[in-house]
Amino acid sequence: MNTERFSKRYSLPFKSLPGSVPMCVSDVAGHEWLRVAEMVKVEGGRLIAIWGTDRRPLADRYVISAVYCADEGLLWLRLVANEDGYPDLSGIFPAAERMQRSLFDLLGVPAKGAEDRRPWINHGRWPKDYFPLRRAHSGKEQFDNGLEEYPFVQVEGDGVHEIAVGPIHAGTIEPGHFRFSVVGEKVLRLEQRLGYTHKGTGKLFVGRTMADGARLAGRISGDSTVAFAWAYCMAAEGAARCEIPARAQWLRALLLERERIANHLGDLGALGNDAGLAFGLAQFSRLKEDWMRLNHQLFGHRFMMDRVVPGGVAIDLDGAGVDLLRAQCNRVETEVRALHDIYDEHAGLQDRFLTAGRVMPKLAAELGLCGMAGRASGQAWDARADQAIAPYAQLDVRMATHRNGDVAARVFVRFEEIFESIRLLREIVRQLPSGPAAVPFPTAAGDALGSGWVEGWRGAVFVALETDAQGNILRCHCHDPSWQNWPVLQHAIMGNIVPDFPLINKSFNLSYSGHDL
């Protein structure tokens, strides 16, 4: 990390955080808050996350944080604010809008000048003066208020009508409301309403020891448990200045790549089924089930939950396990390549995939589309390659990208990522260092900061950790890439027909739980 270059470029007194993620942090004034955001935007950087911390009565203040990704690494800016608010960032980075609305619902500090001030996480049950992340509130309060009517944007014109879908759906998916404005079957506009799976996760972290917080982080979004647990542990280990063994780093990468493959296998089957190819669902479901069963056999859990822990990992891999893993990689690669040919050559499937849900690179860059969906729209960002941590710095990750930005492009990226992850798994077990898989996690220092940045299967997962004077958690902010990508889905469906929405939606497969913290 070139801290001096950061300081010179942004004219701020940066200090580098300990740990493996390339991160610099700086306290800024109000005018610097916007100036640095504009500089990051001009230089092609991205906004990752915005959140707030109530540091009263410790310092009689709120601290608003924003993290950006630049070529050199991550920038964590901290701005002292009061209840009057802080400068709005959504005019520079549109993805900031919902993050700022959520920040107000949880902490009561508004973004000054923001056009959209509608509630996001608060559906009306909380009193107007209740903000759960303020230190004065326990988070256990009970209220009898009814839900408030959400002011959706109205689209008017001849033949325009609305279709309201959700929040309760026919399948076993999580709740979310989708309001379509259509003419015939053509979608003119989609507006989402999320927050139905809000669980008070931010408050649940407060007061826990850093060692205990890993279990909660691993439950942010079940299909990304390895990514969130690793990002959390990276933050905790940085704050506690805990150096983990090399073997633990490589085993974490092994678990992460298995998580990536499992999700891509499941989604490729579902995408085939949504386009009328039930054969694809059957075959990919079988492959995913076999994959998950080996997870359970080798690591004791189908989703590998609680296997990444502060100080290392709670599992290890012996020679017999390596043989089983290699054999499965060989079988799955052979079958997925055959299915890839079938998907490519199936005229009906390609007719549904091509041009559906298109997000062109220019729009993707403007709106901050990231992760797997971003790479399918020309956004060549992958934390395994851009700011590679061990062991990815030694593995030379080959990033899969496309520029068409449609369902077909997102399917292409998924196939390519499966093949690359299988290659990485083979390299990991071939180069797996000897030694312990964990070290004791030390007692954390007080008033410490830590951050974690891990490329999950949807995209980069970010975790920021702040401790109090006793070394317990004061604030833990967990950020899923779905925050950036949910708003882009609204643009992806415009101009398409209503029956294509399930297919387009599944091609993104965004997280409700990881968003509705």
Among candidate residues 340, 330, 323, the one with its CA nearest the CA of residue 284: 340
Query: Quick check: 359 pLDDT over 60?
Result: yes
* Low-confidence winner among 222-231, 414-423, 437-446 (lowest mean pLDDT): 437-446
Paired strand residues for 476: 465
The per-residue pLDDT for 494 is 97
Q: What are phi and psi of 291, to 5 degrees?
A: -65, -45
Quickly state the pLDDT bin for 73 (edges 50, 70, 90). Answer: confident
Among candidate residues 491, 439, 219, the one with its CA nearest the CA of residue 311: 439
Mean pLDDT of 287-304: 98
Among candidate residues 140, 134, 137, 139, the one with its CA nearest the CA of residue 56: 134
Q: When comparing pLDDT for 6 and 225, which is higher?
A: 225
The per-residue pLDDT for 408 is 98
Mean pLDDT of 294-302: 98
H-helix or E-strand spanning residue 99: helix 96-107
H-helix or E-strand spanning residue 131: none
Residues 6 or more apart in contact with residue 409 via CB below 8 angstroms = 376, 377, 402, 403
Query: Quick check: 59 pLDDT over 60?
Result: no
The answer to whether 471 and 450 have CB atoms below 8 angstroms apart is no
Instruction: List the alpha helices (DSSP H) in 241-356.
Output: 246-274, 278-299, 319-345, 347-353
pLDDT tens figures, 228-241 = 999 999 999 999 99
Residues 6 or more apart in contact with residue 138 via CB below 8 angstroms = 203
| Dist. CA 312–CA 439, nearest whole Å | 6
Amino acid sitting at position 238? G
Is residue 15 classed as helix, strand or coil in its secondary structure? strand
The per-residue pLDDT for 2 is 63
Q: How many angstroms separate the Cα of 357 from the Cα of each of 160, 274, 352, 416, 486? A: 21, 14, 10, 20, 13
Residues 6 or more apart in contact with residue 404 via CB below 8 angstroms = 358, 376, 377
Quickly state the pLDDT bin for 445 (edges 50, 70, 90). Answer: confident
Domains and CATH numbers, the chain: 3-112 (3.30.460.80), 244-446+484-508 (1.10.645.10)
Query: Quick check: 340 pLDDT over 80?
Result: yes
Verdict on whether the full-model pTM lies above 0.85? yes
In this prediction, what percent of the chain has a pLDDT beyond 70? 98
Quickly state the pLDDT bin for 483 (edges 50, 70, 90). Answer: very high
Query: Quick check: 514 pLDDT over 80?
Result: yes
H-helix or E-strand spanning residue 384: helix 383-386
Mean pLDDT of 462-489: 96
Task: Compute the half-sphere exposure of residue 267: CA atoms within 13 Å on the CB side of its CA.
Answer: 30
* Low-confidence winner among 72-76, 287-291, 375-379, 463-467 (lowest mean pLDDT): 72-76
pLDDT tens figures, 88-97 = 999 999 999 9
- Round to the nearest angstrom and report the end-to-end CA distance of the chain: 31
Mean pLDDT of 137-146: 87
pLDDT tens figures, 99-112 = 999 999 999 999 99
H-helix or E-strand spanning residue 184: none
Query: Quick check: 413 pLDDT over 60?
Result: yes
The per-residue pLDDT for 22 is 80
H-helix or E-strand spanning residue 159: none
| Dist. CA 171–CA 167, nearest whole Å | 11
The per-residue pLDDT for 175 is 93
The pair of structure tokens assigned to 255 is: 């678990």
The per-residue pLDDT for 58 is 55
The answer to whether 285 and 269 have CB atoms below 8 angstroms apart is yes
The pair of structure tokens assigned to 468 is: 């109090």
The pair of structure tokens assigned to 40 is: 């990051």
Quickly state the pLDDT bin for 1 (edges 50, 70, 90). Answer: low
Query: How much is the mean pLDDT over the chain?
Result: 94
Counts of helices then strands in the chain (DSSP H, E): 16, 15
Q: When comparing pLDDT for 363 and 1, which is higher?
A: 363
Give the number of other Cβ atoms within 10 Å of residue 43's Cβ: 11
Distance of CA 42 to the CA centre of its chain: 24
* DSSP tag of 171: S
Mean pLDDT of 160-171: 89
The pair of structure tokens assigned to 351 is: 């007719």
∠ Cα 143 149 153 (to 5°)? 145
